[in-house]
């Protein structure tokens, strides 16, 4: 609530592209070197960092996701209703729109909708 999405994206872009030897670069390097410490071993944020060279990312409460790219670009998304199911789908679409190629995006691009435990549809990003 205290930071706009544009400000969050800008901050992550700057962090990801920080000059070597700075405190910011140390943080970015730590995220890249140990993504499981940031997100856990079974989370999509960990797979995204591991599968995309130079990228840093953090997901958060109420369906917020922030990404910084090594070239200084940043992306931040927020799902308005706070439900996390659409968060990775929207982020993957935004990163593809920016031209980011990563095998990790494939696992984020669709989220199944279940009925009685069986897939009955999927959440997909449209017109991003």
Q: What is the pLDDT of residues 78-106, one digit of tens each?
A: 999 988 889 999 999 999 999 999 999 99
At 62, is the pLDDT very low, low, confident or very high (cuts 50, 70, 90)?
confident
Confirm whether 128 is domain-assigned. no
Confirm whether 57 is domain-assigned. yes
Query: Which pLDDT does position 110 carry in this prediction?
Result: 86
CA-based nearest residue to 15, from 25, 1, 4, 5: 25
What range does the domain containing 111 cover? 5-123
Rounded Cα distance, 84 and 62, in Å: 7
* 3-state class (DSSP) for residue 111: strand
Confirm whether 45 is domain-assigned. yes
In the structure, how many helices (H) and strands (E) does the chain have?
6, 5
Number of domains in the chain: 1
Query: Which pLDDT does position 22 carry in this prediction?
Result: 98
Query: Which pLDDT does position 2 carry in this prediction?
Result: 82
Confirm whether 84 is domain-assigned. yes
Q: What is the average per-residue pLDDT within 60-77?
A: 95
CA-based nearest residue to 125, from 85, 72, 71, 73: 85
Confirm whether 81 is domain-assigned. yes
Confirm whether 10 is domain-assigned. yes
Confirm whether 114 is domain-assigned. yes
Confirm whether 25 is domain-assigned. yes
| Single pTM value for the model | 0.90
């Amino acid at each position: 609530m205290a930071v706009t999405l544009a400000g969050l994206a800008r901050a992550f872009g700057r962090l990801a592209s920080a000059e070597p030897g700075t405190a910011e670069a140390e943080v970015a390097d730590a995220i890249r070197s140990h993504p499981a410490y940031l997100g856990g071993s079974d989370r999509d944020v960990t797979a995204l960092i591991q599968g995309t060279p130079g990228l840093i990312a953090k997901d958060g409460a109420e369906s917020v996701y922030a990404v910084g790219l090594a070239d200084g670009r940043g992306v931040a998304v927020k799902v308005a209703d706070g439900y996390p199911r659409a968060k990775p789908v929207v982020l993957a679409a935004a990163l593809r729109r920016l031209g980011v190629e990563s095998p990790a995006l494939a696992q984020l691009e669709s989220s199944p909708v279940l009925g009685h435990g069986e897939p009955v549809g999927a959440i997909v990003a449209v017109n991003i």
